Structure 1
Amino acid sequence: MNIFSDYHMHPQGHRLQPYGRALLEPWSDAARKKGIREFAITDHDRYHAGVDFDSFREWRDRNEDLTIRMGIELDNDPQNSEVGLAWVQRNWEKLDFVLGSVHFLGDWPFDRAGEDVGFSRRPIEEIYREYADALRKLVERGWIDCLAHLDLIKIFGFRPKAGFLGYFEEVLLLARERDLALEISTAGWRKPVGEAYPDEEIIRRAREMGIPITLASDAHSPFQIGEDYERLSLLLKRLGIGEVALFEGHKRKIVPLAAAERL
């Protein structure tokens, strides 16, 4: 299976860096080497000050053999999310793709290194319910095209003993109602949980609902572009997924992976 797209990348990493040739060119070079022919850059909205649309267009035009989309990851950061949302609203027409994600429960950045201790402070079921509620609020707020790493809350391997899917059922229903896509991300394979996002049970349920799928590595360096795509290919085959969602100007098209050689 030829997986040719990666719709979750962070050229800025986790710090504010201005867009320019020095920052962006290594990403197109690495994508080309990995056989990734269409990708979206999706830096966190808290670093939007580094996003320069003119620099992006110049970079895209220098790499005409690749399809490069302009995106952003909009999350629920309690300090920055309202400013980030306002930036997305102002620049909606300049963006191709907006990911939505939950990285905070209140002021707790639960997925950061060293934050696993927080999972022992209250029942895991309560944490999952709060996480699912935060996801619903994110979807209801709008201004997103796709949900990123839907079950990120499992990052350190903590999960309820029973009824895992039940925490995400309402979120999936709401995503279908809002016509959102769902990301399958290889990033979980390099995290303590050691499995892709989201859980296979969630993916199967999303497919039953007709929710389209994007593919992603959540790369924070060029070396992570397309990481673990061999394992992803096996996962897609096992789940019977043979098509991928692509975006341009927030308009979605579905492309069979079998057609990748003709793109």
Structure 2
Amino acid sequence: MKFDLHTHHYRCGHAEGTIEDYIKEAIEKGMKVIGISDHSPYFAHSKDQAEPKIAMAKSEFPNYVNEILKLKKKYLGQIEVLLGIESDFFPEYAHLYQKEYEKYPFDYIIGSIHRVNGVSIFNKKRWHGLSDQEKVEQKDQYYELIQQSARSGMFQILGHIDAMKGYYPEFSNIQTESIDETLKVVAECEAAIEINTSGKTKDVGGWYPSDDILEKALFYGVYVTFGSDAHVPDRVGDEWDLVAARLKKIGYKEWVYFKEKRRVSVEL
């Protein structure tokens, strides 16, 4: 049974197509479940839309939810449409975000770290001039935020947990204990990590996370799910079969999706 829990659309300002475009694409590809999870607004910012090329406006958030709920009904019997959101995690504002999310019947919330010390994880300049020890510190800070996001209890899924390698492939070679520590925390919190196939759209290529992290995740008993992170409809379900085959080879027997914030297991 094919599913994809990580898709975007025009409201975030850097994706193409409507929500319905992604649903129709999923139906055409024979998927049974499609989750819509566009970037959450910056709720703590004074402006309605603080960064129009990154996240939707606060005023659009209710419209986003209502549109998905209507499409759930429209496509009932053809495909299961899930209400999701990809949320930034800022520890100092977590309570504010949680308060907003509690207003709506989300099936799941993806918690993603996109900034560390105020700088985008995709900004390759952040690594310029750093010593080896400083690089380790940057990586540890990234994983500390992921651990905090897991412990917050806000998220069913943790998004692209090694995406900091996107435009800096050397990231994966920075040696630190923080990945193992993070996976232990994620397992304890019973959150899932996603296999996100959008790494292929960045310099690093491939998927998030890397195979060695997936092997460790299996060892620690971490649940896994699938997300294409599609920003164009064509990428819905991208490489789903390849990911399923890889997970089987690593040793996974199942993966999961979420409905009404309850975990649903799917046999591989």
TM-score of the aligned structures, taking structure 1 as reference length = 0.84
Taking the aligned partners of 1:153 and 1:44, their CA distance within structure 2 comes to: 18
CA contact (8 A) 2:187 2:223 kept: no
Q: Deviations over 1:76-134 (max 9, x none)?
A: 3599866433311333xx100011110001210122xxx21111242321210111111
Q: Residues of 2 paired with 1:232 and 1:41: CA distance? A: 20
> Per-residue displacement from partner, 1:6-46 (whole Å, max 9, x unpaired)?
111112363299xxxx8222111111122222021111111
Alignment gaps of 5+ in structure 2: 42-55
What is the letter of the counterpart of residue 183 of structure 2? L
Partner Cα distance (2:137, 2:209) in 1: 19
- Code of the residue aligned with 1:254 in structure 2: it is S
Question: Which residue number in structure 2 is paired with residue 76 of structure 1?
Answer: 89
**Which amino acid counterpart does residue 63 of structure 1 have in structure 2?**
Y
Mapped pair 1:35 → 2:30: yes
Mapped contact 1:13–1:220 kept (Cα < 8 A): no
**Does structure 1 conserve the Cα–Cα contact (< 8 Å) formed by 2:8 and 2:38?**
yes
Conservation of the 8 A alpha-carbon contact between 2:7 and 2:35: yes
From 171, 188, 202, the equivalent of 1:191 is 202
Report percent identity of matched pairs: 23
Q: Are residues 16 and 227 of structure 1, via their aligned partners in 2, closer, same or farther at CA, if it must alter by over 3 Å?
A: closer
User: In the aligned structure 2, how far is the partner of 1:79 from the partner of 1:220?
Assistant: 29
* Pairs within 5 Å for 1:154-169: 154-156=165-167, 157-159=169-171, 161=173, 163=175, 166-169=177-180
1:163-220 C-alpha deviation (Å, 9 max, x unpaired): 35x2211111111111111111111122111121111111111112222111110011
Q: For 1:5 and 1:16, how far apart are their aligned partners in 2?
A: 23
**2: CA distance, partners of 1:103 / 1:179:** 22
Partner of 2:212: 201
**Structure 1 gap segments, 5+ residues each:** 258-263
Amino acid at match of 1:9: T
Give the match's secondary structure for 1:215: strand
Report the TM-score, using the length of structure 2 for normalisation.
0.82
What is the count of residue pairs matched by the alignment? 245
TM-align CA RMSD? 2.4
User: Is 1:78–1:106's contact at 8 Å kept on the other side of the alignment?
Assistant: no
* CA contact 2:159–2:194 (8 Å) conserved in 1: yes
Larger mean Cα displacement after TM superposition, 69-78 or 207-216: 69-78
Secondary structure (helix, strand or coil) at the match of 2:145 reads: helix
The counterpart of 2:18, out of the listed 4, 14, 23, is: 23
Q: What residue number does 1:99 align with? A: 110
